[in-house]
Chains A and B, each alone.
Chain A
Amino acid sequence: MSNNGLLQIHDPLKPKGHVVGIDLGTTHSLVASVSQGKPRCVPVDDGDSLLLPSVVHYGRDGGVVVGARARKLAADAPTDTIVSVKRFMGRGPDDPETRKLGAYRFVPGSQVVRFDVAGGQPVTPIEVSGEILRALKRRAEAHFSGKVEQAVITVPAYFDDAQRQATRDAGKLAGLEVLRLLNEPTAAALAYGLDKGSQGTFAVYDLGGGTFDISILKLEDGVFEVKSTGGDSALGGDDFDRAIATRVLQAMGAATPSPSQVAEAMSAARKAKEALTDVAEVTLTVGGHSQPVTRADFEAWIQPLVQKTGAVCRRALKDAGVAAGELDGVILVGGSTRVPAVRHFVAELFGREPLGDIDPDQVVALGAAVQASLLTDSNRQDEVLLLDVLPLSLGLETMGGIAEKLIPRNSTIPTAAAQVFTTFKDHQTGLDVHVVQGERELVEDNRSLARFTLSGIPPLAAGMARVEVRFQVDADGILSVTAKEQSTGAAQTITVKPSHGLTDEEIEKMLLDSIDYAEDDIQARQVREQQVEAERVLAEADRQLRENAALLEAGEPEAIQAAMARVREAAQGKNYLAVKEALHGLDEASRAFIERVMNRAITQVVSGHSVEEY
């Protein structure tokens, strides 16, 4: 594990401000917080709206507008106004999803999607999402008149590793400590107040703007166990809009519509869809053309999309080992479940009327707020525990481009698996590993998560070197990989960075470039932060040296003391980089010692067994 050094041991006494739950949605986003035991959404947009449209406009002057005002600018500046950015999270520029009907200009020649927008640098989906999160954070701070620093952010249960990492990075960019990525259906179930008293098996059908999720959950003794989950991270209400817009543009004879025609048609289609919930016929106007659309037309157009959710639901039920008739309730989530055709379909599929008494737009944010409160309020910890699952199988590429599954989908997380690789050539010192996620047989049909080379293998005869690669999935569903050569015991930690993600350096640079930092005196703030950090780390090091002196090896006390002295000296000055470097030096000098301390601590608690055994 990479994060077991001294630097990561954080101070529980540091004040954290308000904790919030955030629903970072495809079409709109919400923030909620628990006060007096009840979760409530916070007004975040004009007119005290609880919904912030997930739209970010980049102006020519370099200004950034988020929300309803940005959406109004979409028709006039379609390429500078990013809507539904969630669809692009963790995806590459060549992904079919990226290429769907839309108005954007992409910067070519990059592994990462970059939107070419007005006002300066191209932006990545992570930065765009970061703007949405920052807007939510600021508006929540204004509402509370206090800092918001920690959040639970929801993701579709079906998000893969790359999409989860991208979401977590976006949170970081917005200056939020992401306590947990919570699956949206699980959040919804929490919001329904299915608490310690209640029990049963529930299905959560979540059709949002851009994603579809189904989860089967079982609640017993205060433990929420996700039994199975399934979905389609590229299916949602936007596709309904697109179905309308495509037909209308066709009827207008616009074979190759301009970006602004597309934006106008999409916007008209969305309004038509919403209106068709209550009326039987509407007329769309796009570019001066009028086009009538009946509810029957609309339902016929979206029927194949709705049917697609049915197959996914049946598989989730099967994976959970539950028949539709055994369910104790069906929960609807997501604005798209307002469409009558969707409601009818769900009622028929599960053979019962779904629950819908909490606003389907708010339910996910409310549940996220509940989880944020459960995670941070020590008085509430015994109420409910969530046990989530890995949505998609993790595997490795083997001979012939076959994906070999290592951790099957629907495994309860955290979970781990190990695989031993042997060399196939004499004196081979490196091994290529390709990690994929998905259910398909062939590597090329799954998502490619990462490729890396295990290096530093001792040069032995073919088949003699054995490298054990261990995959650990944490409670957020995010993967980390460690490798160990078994004959020499040489260990290596690989940070798995998704092929279409950003590196830590890029994230750090973006952080420094970001507006929140620009507003402060960056240098002073960084010096102050590093000084506080230095003080804390020195105190922790002192304590460890005192309490665990028995675990020190020859030479270590001197080396650690010397590194501590360097930190103290650097902390006197004004150069934050020097402090940072000294801290890293101390981390290095004490790493082996701290690892022994932690191993022993774990050994003591998990009754007589070392970390290596797991």
Chain B
Amino acid sequence: MRTHFDVFGLPRSHAVDVPALEKQYRDLSLQLHPDRVAQGNARERLQALEGTTALNEAFKTLKDPVRRAFYLLKLHGIDLDREDAGAQKDMPLEFLEEVMTLREELDDAIAAKDLPRAQAMAKDVAGRKQAALTEAVSALQSLEAAGDSPDGVRKASHALGRVRYFTRFLEQVDAFEEEVLA
């Protein structure tokens, strides 16, 4: 299977030089985009559509460190975006406690329309998210260096499970913020 890394001719690694990736994305877009073959035949136009669609997807995934980490985990066989992913069920107990505490606190803040409190929580959670991502990236890097191991994959998967939860939490604060400001 052709991976997003293959699209850019990059090795399968979390270490991506984003400015270089952006530059390459623009160059590839200039070559592949449907606008280049607006007067071409159906085959050329379909090719351009498929090629650019794949390019856009690859770029979106690789430019963002969080998406990139999730994608690498997927290449290791665990797709956290799939609702039926077994990996979500075996999250450690302390994480579930963390989730419940945060959930209650945020619900309280939203019920009280207390935006500053929600924003303070968001700041704290953003920090936790960054820490979890760093943990995930180092787990993924040891997988790159030492090859697939169930233990390493589990480590990355747990860390990214937390990243995912924190991301959703931050989105909820955003939505609350928009609601209050509107």
Contacts and interface: CB of A to CB of B under 8 A. Distances in A.
Contact of A223 (B26, B42, B56): B26
Nearest to B47: A602
Nearest to B7: A606
Interface stretch (A7-15, A202-210, A249-257, A453-461): A7-15
A386 interface: yes
A532 to B, nearest CB: 16
A381 B56 CA distance: 20
A584 B11 CA distance: 47
B2 to A, nearest CB: 5
A12 B53 contact: no
Contacts of A198: none
Nearest to B33: A385
A8 B45 CA distance: 11
Interface string B34-71: 11101111110011011111101101100000000000
Contacts of A416: 53, 57
A415 interface: yes
Interface string B129-159: 0000000000000000000000000000000
Nearest to B82: A420
B24 to A, nearest CB: 10
Interface residues of A, number: 46
Q: Chain A contact residues: over half helix, strand or loop, or mixed?
A: mixed
A375 B181 contact: no
Interface residues of B, number: 33
Contacts of B182: 311
Contact of A412 (B50, B56, B178): B56
A606 B35 contact: no
B2 A608 contact: yes
Contacts of B50: 602, 606, 611, 614
Contacts of A378: 39
Contact of A1 (B29, B46, B57): B46
A474 interface: yes
Contacts of A606: 2, 47, 50-51, 54
B89 interface: no
21 contacts: A1-B46, A4-B42, A4-B46, A9-B41, A311-B181, A376-B39, A411-B56, A414-B34, A414-B53, A472-B53, A474-B49, A475-B35, A475-B52, A597-B43, A602-B47, A602-B51, A606-B2, A606-B47, A609-B2, A613-B1, A613-B2
Interface of A: 1, 3-4, 8-10, 12, 179-180, 220-223, 225, 311, 315, 374-376, 378, 381-382, 385-387, 411-416, 472, 474-475, 597-598, 601-602, 605-609, 611, 613-614
